Every structure is written in structure tokens, then in C-alpha cells.
Chains A and B, each alone.
Chain A
Amino acid sequence: MSTETERHERGRLAPVVDWMENLSEAAYAYLLLIPAFGLLTLIAFYPMISTFWMSLLEDQTRGAETLGGFVGLENYIGILTGDARLARQFLDVQLTGSFPFFELGVGFFQQALFVTLSFAILNVIFTTLIGFGQALVLDKDFRGRRWVRVAVIIPWAVPIVIQGMIFYLMFQPTVGFGADVMNALGLFSATPLASSQDSFFILLIADVWKTSAFMALLILAGLQSVDRSLYDVAKVSGASTWQRFKLITFPLALPAVLVAMLFRTMDAMRVYGLIESTAGCTTVPSMTCMVIEGMFGGTRIYGTAAAVAFMTAAIIGVFISIYIVKFRGQEGGVY
């Protein structure tokens, strides 16, 4: 019939191609999603469910089997009451009769929940402020902007192990000057990397240094999508630099800032590599640290480890929900 159709060389794949072409839109959509969801099922969904199941099983520290019988939420209760067989507790708080009605079983910076939450919150606050500042600088047109931008972004491209190394060396009394300087100022002890509190702040500085760049990148992208003519309108109507920032830049960049904060929060709550390569998980226990300890600590408390992993995810989920509820009110909310 059509010369064109005959011309079209039909290989062995032709039946497959024809079959795909004739699928309905929905069937075609599901077909193309198979690779992505296949991978996610194997690597994420299946392990998630499997981890959840493990978290309901008893720790089995002896014998050939790695896990014992079904114990329900016992592992979770153990974690939350400070009775888990871990070197550091997830949460260890007792209620008391007098003000402030609770007391800490061990130090604040030795409880994984507090460490992780305060790390995430302080981290997000500082990186947002600094990242916003950096983004504002990078948003300006000036000679050498390209190189300033590269310089500001580079820490973000540094492998975590190297980031940890830099700050480890800096505060290692035999190598770096950091420990001496801070000790002289009376802020840190002589060996800060052995102190939970000092190490916490070293980690915070190290992470703010690296991840501000990521914030700056996302906020900069937000700033650059602001219509430049709005600034001209504001200038013509006599707005000062500060007013322009308050009335135009900030509100329009806010969605981008919130998205960036969301990503940062999720990431900061999962902190592990940085701790592992500086102070170590015993000094500063994060939630992920405890999962690793439970699994590789030699104590074979797999049920507890799985419960901690799931708790971590649940707490991150709570934070995400807060963001998403907030986003609802924002124009151009996430996804």
C-alpha cells in the first residue's frame, strides 16, 4: 500500500515494538515504570518491610538463629525506655515528681534521639541562614562571580569521608590547631574529640561548612527564577534594598527555601558517615549510628537495630509531614 511502510525495515524486535505501540496509555505507563519500581522494590520496599518484621522479633544473642520469636513492640519499648542492650541509649529519660518532671538517665549528648534532633535542627537553621546569605551573594552580577560560585559550591562536592577527615585532623590535638585554640578560649576541653558535647559542635561546624553550599545552590536556583522585572518595579516605586528583600526576594524565594530545608532535614537526621569518620559513634551517637552498632557491634541485637532503623524513619516521616502541611499553604508547594 504505502511505499513508506514497506521501506521501513522491520527487525526481529518488530513484534515487541508493535505490541508496545498498541498498549493503552495507562498500560504503557505501567510498563515503563517496571524498571524503576522493580529496582526500588528490591532495594528499598522489600528491605523496608523486612526490616519492620525484624524489628518485631526478639534479639537472639546466642545460637545459630540470628533472630528469636515474635515479641511485638518490645524492642521499641526497650529503645524508648533506655533498656536496650546498646552502648549508648536511644532515649533515656525518667519521669519525676518535681519540676521539670523528668531527668536524663545519661547526658543529653549521649542519647541518640536528642543528638540527632538537635543536630538536625541546629544544622538546618545555620545552613539556611548561611546558605541564603551565600545565595544572595551569588545572585549578584559581578566580575569573577563564576569563581566565587565555584568556591562556595565546592564543599558540597567533597566526599563525606574527606569532610570528616579535615575536621578530625583539625581538632586532633597532635595535628590540628583547633583543639588548642578552642581550649585556650575555654570553650572546649583539651581533647574535644573525646567529649560528647565538644564533638557535637565540631560535627555541627563540619556539616554546616559542607551543606550550606547545597542550601545556597537550591536557594540560588529559587532566586534566579524570580522575574527580574519585579525588582525594577520595586525600584521605581522607591523601595529600599531592605524592602526589596523583604517584599520581593524573600517571599518569592520561600518555596525554594522550604524545599531546600526539607532535603536538609531528611539528610541531617540520617547523619552517620561524618560521625564515623570524626568522633566516632560512641562519643556522639546518632540514630543511624545505633543501627550500625546493633548490627556490627558483635552483640547481634538485630531486632533492636531494626527497631531503631524504623524509629528513625518514623521520626523523619513526622518531620516531613510537618513540612508538607506547611507547604500546602505555600504557592508552588513541593511535588
Chain B
Amino acid sequence: MARVTLDGVTKRYEDVTAVDDMNLDIGDGEFVTFVGPSGCGKSTTMETIAGLTIPTEGEIYIGDREVTKLPPKDRGIAMVFQNIALFPHMDVYDNISFGLRIRNYEKSEIDRRVEEAAEIVQLGGMMDRMPEEMSGGQRQRVAIARALVREPDVFLMDEPLANLDAKLRVHMRTELQRLHRRLDTTIIYVTHDQAEAMTMSDRIAVINAGKLQQIAPPLTCYNEPANQFVAGFIGSPSMNFVEAEVAGGRLEAENFHVEFDPSTTDGIAPGDRVVLGVRPEDIYLERTAEGIEYATELINARTDVLEPMGNEVFVYLVTGNDTETSMDVAAGEASDDQLLMNVDPDTQIEAEEDVSVILDRSRIHLFDAETGDALRHGLIDVASAESGTPERGVGDSD
């Protein structure tokens, strides 16, 4: 068990910078997930921790030891790979015991550890199977057991569930959490799937274009994203973004406006361009909305496509007068006159219906239109000012 520290780690290839000045401090026993779109540098970052890639600049510490240039074998790490990477020419026992055999452990010690690891991942009685004779889930367990027997200081997992089918993936997710609770070892986990990141981690490190965007507990990333990228990446379906201009006590979007007093927030002045972000579950049909303490004024929209998911319905809305169905909506592209709303499955709603919706002001985020940095989360203090009550500042988490 050990802390893992990255100090200014940068990895440049000939013409690309894969990892750009990464600073991370991962606590002992913590489960941290690197999440980001493919090619964002999250795997390269992990490879530098594993020692499979040597960073161009910066230092890496595991525990109190600097390991920046140590070969992987000397770092006290174990790793589970995306393609599982079991040695196809070895049976399960040989695969699991590989690292121990390399290190010349006693036979009895190897047997003991293999048995214990196999028990943890429920692989009893399969010791002499070959990888090709096993299912994807079983192979994944072998790969985890191979990492477990080493009793490493740090576990690295590079998209270990990516090649499993959807159902198994969800199942393995819970198993990994159980495993972490039992071992209490530092785990660094890489995934492009934000749902995996949300469900398992103590903290999420959101990475984009080689840069760390935010490192925070999952719900913080969800509720108080540091910037527009994090806001859009975390949460499914994605947050709605609408460009707006700050003008005379309101935010002026193309087809609607939201009351807002710029003087309540640092760094916002009349005339600024901002991006207003609101998650689909924070948009309500006016006719069914109940108990929304801080609501915006009515926004007129026309429903476009409905996607009933069973437990909820996704409603694609087109705001403004020009309510013709745009191809952008169908393609899932966010654009200024489209909003995605999430309603109860028993809501009476149809496609191509004119509706009025409201937004929950306490759940609206503002981002700088140029830098994408979050300006504030929640607009309720403004709402209270409007309604005459003194500012309460609740929800102003900045």
C-alpha cells in the first residue's frame, strides 16, 4: 500500500504531447479513476506509473520512493490490462503464478498465494485450464488474480472491463468494488466509461488532451464540474449547453432568457458571453413540475423525438419559433436551440407537441464561453434577490 504522486509528468512524442504537466497525489488505499475520451492521455499516464513508458519530464513517486526511471518489475505494482493479456501458452495456475515464479518464491508460498487469490476471484478448480478454454469473465478473473498474488503496493487497471459484454461489465464493477474494500490497496483505474468511473471511485481524475481537468469525488465532479469539458463528459446523457449573453439582469440565450444579476458573481460583467449548462433531469414540464423551489420563467419549446427507456423518457426539445426538426437533434449534436429533457415514464407527452418547460435554477451552471472554466454552480441567490428575499447564498458552492 502506498501513495502515488505525479509531479509535473509530461510525455512528448515526436509531434504530440500525450501527457501535459500532470500533477496528481493519490492517497494510500484510495481508488482513483482516470477518465476521459480515447486518446486523451489517460493510458499514457498510467503507463508512466507502470514504467512501461518513461516520461519526458517530471517525477513519479510510489510511497516515498522515486520510481520515474525504474523498470516496471522494480516498482511494486501489478497491472490488469484492457485486452486481459493472459499468456496463451500457460494454464491458469502458471498465469497467476508467473510473477512469483520470476521472483523465485518458494513453491509452498506460491501455492498458498495462488489459492488465496483464486478464492478471492472465485476461480477454484480451474487451475489447469488454458485461457482459450475460458469465457471472457473467467479470463478477467484470472488476470485480476495474477495481479492479486503479487500483493502489490499499487494496482493499475487499464480498462479491464472494456472487452466484456454489457451485463458482465456491470457485474464485474460491483466485484471490483468489493475487492477494493477487502484489500484496501491503492487502485488506479483507467476507463473511458464515465459510468464506471462514477460508480467505483473514491475520486475521479478527468483528463482531456493530456491535461488534468479535475480530480474530485464522483459527485463533486457531477454537481460542481470544474469546467465545461468535465460537465459534458460526466453524466449520461450529457449536460445541455446553451450560449448566452449577460445583459441587464438576465442571461440572454437565443430563444429564452434566465434572470441573473451579474454583480453577484465575480468575473462576470454585462456584455460577457457565457455558456449555460443544465442537466436533462433538471428540466421540467411546466404542467407536471412540483416542488421546484427556484424555477426559471417558462420556456416555450416543441418536442421532437421521444426515447422511452422504461424507467424514464428522454425528450428532445427544440426551443424558439423555428421549431422545424433539425437534423442536428437527431444526430445528437448539441446546438443552441435544442434541449434534452428527462421525464417520468408515465408523463403524458407526444412527439411534435408544443410544451412549456422550466429549469431548476439551483442546478444551472455557468461557464466562461472562451475558457470553459466554471463560473458558478446554481443561480438561486439571484432568484432570491429577484423575489425580494435577502440573498441566502445556498448552493453557491464556488
Contacts and interface: CB of A to CB of B under 8 A. Distances in A.
A adjacent to B, CB under 8 Å: yes
Interface of A: 1-5, 7-9, 18, 21-22, 24
B69 interface: yes
Given A1-B65, A1-B76, A21-B71, A7 B103 contact: yes
Given A1-B65, A2-B76, A8 B153 contact: no
B104 interface: yes
B78 to A, nearest CB: 9
B232 interface: no
Contacts of A3: 151
Contact of A7 (B69, B75, B105, B153): B105
B104 A4 contact: no
B74 A5 contact: yes
11 contacts: A1-B64, A1-B65, A1-B76, A1-B153, A2-B75, A2-B76, A4-B152, A8-B104, A9-B104, A21-B71, A24-B54
A58 B150 CA distance: 70
Contact of A4 (B54, B63, B64, B150): B150
A4 B104 CA distance: 11
Given A1-B63, A2-B63, A5-B74, 18 more contacts: A1-B64, A1-B65, A1-B76, A2-B75, A2-B76, A3-B151, A4-B103, A4-B150, A4-B151, A4-B152, A5-B76, A8-B73, A8-B103, A18-B71, A21-B71, A21-B73, A22-B69, A22-B71
Nearest to B99: A4
A124 B33 CA distance: 61
Contacts of B104: 8-9
Nearest to A17: B71
B61 to A, nearest CB: 11
Contact of A2 (B69, B71, B105, B153): B153
Interface in B115-156: 150-153
Contacts of B2: 1
A3 B75 CA distance: 11
A21 B73 CA distance: 10
B276 to A, nearest CB: 48
Contacts of B103: 4, 7-9
Contacts of B73: 8, 21
Nearest to B153: A2
A18 to B, nearest CB: 8
Contacts of A7: 103, 105
Contacts of B105: 7
Nearest to B74: A5
A5 B73 CA distance: 8
A193 B57 CA distance: 74
Interface string B54-74: 100000000111000101011
A93 to B, nearest CB: 54
Chain A to chain B: the 7 pairs with minimum beta-carbon distance, closest first: A2-B76, A21-B71, A8-B103, A1-B65, A1-B63, A4-B76, A5-B74
B24 to A, nearest CB: 20
A9 B152 CA distance: 17
Nearest to A8: B103
Contacts of A1: 2, 63-65, 76, 153
Contacts of B69: 22
A105 B64 CA distance: 86
B212 to A, nearest CB: 26
B195 to A, nearest CB: 33
Contacts of B75: 2
A17 B74 CA distance: 12
A18 B70 CA distance: 9
Contacts of B65: 1
Most chain B CB neighbours (cut-off 10 Å) among A1, A4, A5, A7: A4
A209 B65 CA distance: 68
Nearest to A21: B71
Interface string B28-55: 0000000000000000000000000010
Nearest to B71: A21
A9 B69 CA distance: 20
Interface in B82-108: 103-105
A8 B76 CA distance: 11
A24 B53 CA distance: 10
Contacts of B150: 4
Nearest to A4: B76
Nearest to B154: A2
A5 B151 CA distance: 12
Contacts of B71: 18, 21-22
A28 to B, nearest CB: 11
A18 B74 CA distance: 10
A258 to B, nearest CB: 33
Nearest to B51: A21
A5 B54 CA distance: 20
Contacts of B54: 24
Contacts of A21: 71, 73
A22 B72 CA distance: 11
Nearest to A9: B104
A3 B65 CA distance: 13
Nearest to A7: B103
A16 B73 CA distance: 15
A55 to B, nearest CB: 43
A8 B73 CA distance: 10
Contacts of B64: 1
Interface string B146-173: 0000111100000000000000000000
Contacts of B76: 1-2, 4-5
Nearest to B105: A7
Interface string B1-22: 0100000000000000000000
Contacts of A8: 73-74, 103-104
Contacts of A24: 54
B56 to A, nearest CB: 11
A2 B105 CA distance: 15
B151 to A, nearest CB: 7
Contacts of B153: 1-2
A185 to B, nearest CB: 58
Contacts of A18: 71
A195 to B, nearest CB: 58
B2 to A, nearest CB: 8
